[in-house]
Structure 1
Amino acid sequence: MTKYIITFLLFVAILAGALLYIGDDAMLTLSSSGAKWPIAFPDLEMSWQAVIFLGTLLMIGTITLWSLLLWIWRLPRRLKSGVGMRKRNRAIDAMEEALIAGAEGDMDRARKASARVRDLAGSTDLGHIISATAAEACGDQEQAIIHYSAMLDSPKTRPTAQRGLAQAKLAKGDLPGAVEAAREAFDQNVQARWAFDTLFKALVADYRWTEARDVLEKGRAAKHISGVVFNRRRAVLLTAEADYWMDHGQHDKSLELSQAALKDASDFAPAVAIAAYELARTGGQKKAASLLEKAWKTAPHPAISLAYFDLYPGESDATRSKRLERFIASDPEDREARLLMISHDLRSGRPVDALSLLAQILDEEEPTARLCLLAAEAERALGNPTDAGMWTERAATAPHERDWSDLDPEGPGFAYESQDWRRLVFSFGDTGELVHPRAERQDAIRRPTPEAKLEPLRLAAPEDEAAPDGDLARRFDDLMDAQPGDKDAE
């Protein structure tokens, strides 16, 4: 606005200067030599100031008239634009209402607002996107699938529809449908990260290990996943396949797959256990033992030790003790090695030795459920059923060791079901942490002793029973001279 005012004032100044410069004396005379009208007219004489003034008025009038005509010409378009702007604002308000209603879980209001979006915006695709988004926010996957399916026919919205459809079906539990939608998108564009993630999750959820492994390898080639995570995930998938074929009597295939898994993750204890079992089944105890000893040095796990001693059933206590010393020789002070020695002492009828070693561990850390159960077994072996019962009750509320699978010494090291392998693909695959699926599900822990026959523990201790003293070392001094069955043993 300022520039127009300045221009006008400048024009007036120039005009005033011109009029002053010319003055009142200069005259302009117009005459015609024509003999007939209209070109014949009497001489016309006027001052130059009047000529300039009239010319200025004529110019201003012409500009004003042109602007008026141009404004009239553009008026319909402006009216239409104004109506469209109001309609657009109403469509935006309807979109906002639809999304807010979806977030609040009000599906009826979200559906009505989405319908207004389609009418006001004049875009069916936009209406479907808003409707699907609102339905997902409400948790109504059926409605979301309907709207995403309607978007498949448009090339512009097809990729969006494929993504929404795959994810909605996965959330709904329609695994074959999720696989189909995600696979189509992934085949069309291998660089689509969402398609890789959704397809892989759907295949794993549907226990399709081989297909999941193929997709994982394509994802690695497309750089959707790091090398370390890729190796660990593939190790779990290979081990799950090995476990399947072992259960179905295909032992050669099971051995091949479990050994392939160890190439990807040598510290994955379930793969070690399966490979050792398959080797020992055909007389390869030495190879199995070497495999288990190597795995123990890399990542000690109770299942590895059980598998190791299962290779040599019926050994005498002396022979078993020597073998145990060789097995843990790489790091006898390791926590898992000491726990292994405690279990061996309990099985060999040496509860005092077990209690002594257990006291050292309890001096270093708070008692876990696993340590409580070992303490209970030691007290039971010493003839103290009351104290054993209190330790057992304390185990019910003590923190769990997430990598401890509350093993049955008489059973398999890793009694995993398909859903357990599915969990491990991501829990071990993404973090490298071997958390037993039973701990993730917060199932009741089990007593890892033959005598208890894996009975589930009670969830809480009776109110009239007190917890045992956490400092087991103080009680150990009173137990050193006690033997199982002594009357004074407490």
Structure 2
Amino acid sequence: MMKYLVAFLVFIVLLAAMLLYVGDDATLLLSSTSGKPPFALPPMELTWQAVILFGTAFIVATITLWSVLLWIWRLPRRLKSGVGMRKRNRAIDAMEDALIAGAEGDMDRARKASARVRDLTGSTDLGRIISATAAEACGDHEEAVAHYTAMMDSDKTRPTAQRGLAQSKLATGDLPGAVEAARDAFDQNPRARWAFDTLFKALVADYRWTEARDALDKGRAAKHVDGSLYDRRKAVLLTAEADYWLDNGQHDKALQLAQAALKHAADFAPAAVIAAYELARAGGQKKAASLLERAWASHPHPALAIAYLDLYPGESVETQGGRIDRFIAPEPDHREARLLRVSHYLRAGDPVEALSILSPMLEEETPTARLCLLAAEAERVLGNRVDAALWTERAATAAHERDWSDLDPDGPGFDYEPQDWRRLIFSFGDTGELVHPRGDRSKAVRRPTPDPERDPLRLAGPDESAQDDEDDDLARRFDDLLDGSGETERD
């Protein structure tokens, strides 16, 4: 508004300046040379000030008249636009009400608001989208599916309907329906990331490993998954399929799939163990050993060591020790390599050598249940019943760590159930983490309050002091053993 006022004042100032400049002495004489009426006019004499004022008034009047006529011309459209704007605002309010009611779980209110949206906008498609969204928010997947199914008849809303159908059916456990809807959408538009994700999840949830591999290949071609994510997921899918054929007696096919999995992820222990088992079953112990050695060099894992030792049953302790040394040679200082040697020395009945490796580990890290049990076994072999009991007690509350020896020790290892493979596809596939099928407890548990009368093996005093005493006592006795100064007496 201010800029218009300034412009008007500037115009007045300029007009006044012009009138002053011209003055009232200068005149303009108008005459006609025609002798015929009505063009025969007598001479007219006007001052220039009057001419300027009349000209200015004419221009202003012309602009004003044009503006009035233009306003009258646009009036019907303005009236219609105003009505439409009010209707549009009411439709927006109805959409907000429908979505809020859906979020609150009030399905009746959501239905009424969705009906108002259809009436106000005149768009059936928009009304169905709002109705389906509100139904999903309320958790009424059946009604949502009904609206999405109706939306399939419109070319405009078909992609939205496909996505809604696929996700609703996946949420309700209708895996075949989710696969059908997602696959249809993905085939029509490979760039739709949601279609790939939903299709892959539905196929994996339905244990359809081969079809999931095919979908994964298409997803990589469409650049929905990068190289490492693709390779890890592909390795798990191939190994899961190998395990399936192994259970059904198709050993050649199982071996082929497991070896293919290792090409995508050389550090995937289940694939290496299954491939080694199949090779050894056919008499190829050397090939199996070489395969496990390469897998260990890529990423040491306790299950690989178990499978490696299973290749040569009945060997003497000395022979087995040499074989272990060759096996861990690429990574001799790796934590798993050190624990493998500890277990070997305990089997050989040499707790002193076992403790020489185990003691630094107990000092370097907070002992897990696995380390505590190894220490307890070493103490038991030494005849230290009290210390063995203390380490066993600490194992009960320490952070849990699997040694993977519980996975079908008499068979191929990694005898997972389909749901275990399904979990691995996303855990190992997405993060590279190889989880145990029976889960892990990675944090320590609070130690219960000791009762000396009921638990005479408990040391008196706070837990931390008792733990320090245990570690110091273990170190002193270990030094005595190495120095040959005698055995530590225990009750």
Shorter-chain TM-score above 0.5: yes
TM-score by length of 2: 0.81
Distance change (3 Å), C-alpha of 1:343 and 1:56: closer
Residue 121 of structure 1 corresponds to which residue in structure 2? Answer: 121
Query: What is the CA-CA distance between 1:181 and the residue it aligns to?
Result: 1.2
Residue 74 of structure 1 corresponds to which residue in structure 2? Answer: 74
Residue 130 of structure 1 corresponds to which residue in structure 2? Answer: 130
Distance change (3 Å), C-alpha of 1:53 and 1:235: closer
Which amino acid counterpart does residue 429 of structure 2 have in structure 1?
G
Query: What is the CA-CA distance between 1:380 and the residue it aligns to?
Result: 4.0
Q: Report matched runs for 1:46-445 at 5 Å.
A: 48=46, 64-65=64-65, 67-383=67-383, 387-401=387-401, 404-405=403-404, 407=406, 410-412=409-411, 413-439=413-439
Q: Secondary structure at the match of 1:378?
A: helix
Q: Secondary structure at the match of 1:173?
A: coil
Larger mean CA deviation between 467-476 and 334-343 belongs to 467-476
Distance change (3 Å), C-alpha of 1:140 and 1:382: farther
1:318-343 Cα shifts (integer Å, max 9, x gaps): 32222222222333322111111222
Query: What is the CA-CA distance between 1:198 and the residue it aligns to?
Result: 1.8
1:372-420 Cα shifts (integer Å, max 9, x gaps): 232333344445555545434433432234x753635834532311111
Aligned equivalents of 2:33, 2:22: Cα separation in 1: 20
Distance change (3 Å), C-alpha of 1:397 and 1:160: farther
Contact 2:31 2:41 in 1 (8 A): no
Which amino acid counterpart does residue 254 of structure 2 have in structure 1?
S
Query: What is the CA-CA distance between 1:85 and the residue it aligns to?
Result: 1.2
Aligned equivalents of 1:319, 1:53: Cα separation in 2: 122
Query: What is the CA-CA distance between 1:19 and the residue it aligns to?
Result: 9.4
Distance change (3 Å), C-alpha of 1:361 and 1:76: same
Residue 5 of structure 1 corresponds to which residue in structure 2? Answer: 8
Query: What is the CA-CA distance between 1:244 and the residue it aligns to?
Result: 0.7
Query: What is the CA-CA distance between 1:344 and the residue it aligns to?
Result: 1.8
Distance change (3 Å), C-alpha of 1:169 and 1:22: farther
Query: What is the CA-CA distance between 1:481 and the residue it aligns to?
Result: 6.0
Query: What is the CA-CA distance between 1:114 and the residue it aligns to?
Result: 3.5
Aligned equivalents of 2:36, 2:309: Cα separation in 1: 135
1:409-460 Cα shifts (integer Å, max 9, x gaps): 83453231111111211221222232324336x5999xxxxxxxxxxxx997
Which amino acid counterpart does residue 5 of structure 1 have in structure 2?
F
Distance change (3 Å), C-alpha of 1:298 and 1:61: closer
Q: Secondary structure at the match of 2:467?
A: coil
Residue 478 of structure 1 corresponds to which residue in structure 2? Answer: 477
Query: What is the CA-CA distance between 1:159 and the residue it aligns to?
Result: 1.7
Aligned-residue identity in percent: 65
Residue 448 of structure 1 corresponds to which residue in structure 2? Answer: none
Which amino acid counterpart does residue 154 of structure 1 have in structure 2?
S
Aligned equivalents of 1:158, 1:15: Cα separation in 2: 70
Aligned equivalents of 2:53, 2:359: Cα separation in 1: 115
Contact 1:382 1:489 in 2 (8 A): no
Contact 1:404 1:436 in 2 (8 A): no
Distance change (3 Å), C-alpha of 1:59 and 1:283: closer
TM-score by length of 1: 0.81
Aligned equivalents of 1:222, 1:434: Cα separation in 2: 27
Q: Report matched runs for 1:11-30 at 5 Å.
A: 26=29
Aligned equivalents of 1:291, 1:313: Cα separation in 2: 18
Q: Secondary structure at the match of 1:407?
A: coil
Distance change (3 Å), C-alpha of 1:122 and 1:387: farther
Which amino acid counterpart does residue 425 of structure 2 have in structure 1?
V
Query: What is the CA-CA distance between 1:184 and the residue it aligns to?
Result: 0.8
Distance change (3 Å), C-alpha of 1:63 and 1:366: closer
Q: Secondary structure at the match of 1:469?
A: helix
Distance change (3 Å), C-alpha of 1:43 and 1:350: closer
Aligned equivalents of 2:385, 2:323: Cα separation in 1: 32
Structure 2's unaligned 5+ residue stretches are none
Larger mean CA deviation between 15-24 and 112-121 belongs to 15-24
Larger mean CA deviation between 180-189 and 151-160 belongs to 151-160
Aligned equivalents of 2:159, 2:322: Cα separation in 1: 64
Contact 1:359 1:473 in 2 (8 A): no
Query: What is the CA-CA distance between 1:351 and the residue it aligns to?
Result: 3.5
Contact 2:102 2:134 in 1 (8 A): yes
Contact 2:106 2:138 in 1 (8 A): yes
Aligned equivalents of 2:111, 2:397: Cα separation in 1: 48
Give the number of aligned pairs: 468
Contact 2:345 2:354 in 1 (8 A): yes
Query: What is the CA-CA distance between 1:249 and the residue it aligns to?
Result: 0.8
1:283-328 Cα shifts (integer Å, max 9, x gaps): 1111111111222222111111111111111222232222222222
Structure 1's unaligned 5+ residue stretches are 446-457
Contact 2:346 2:354 in 1 (8 A): yes
Query: What is the CA-CA distance between 1:82 and the residue it aligns to?
Result: 1.1
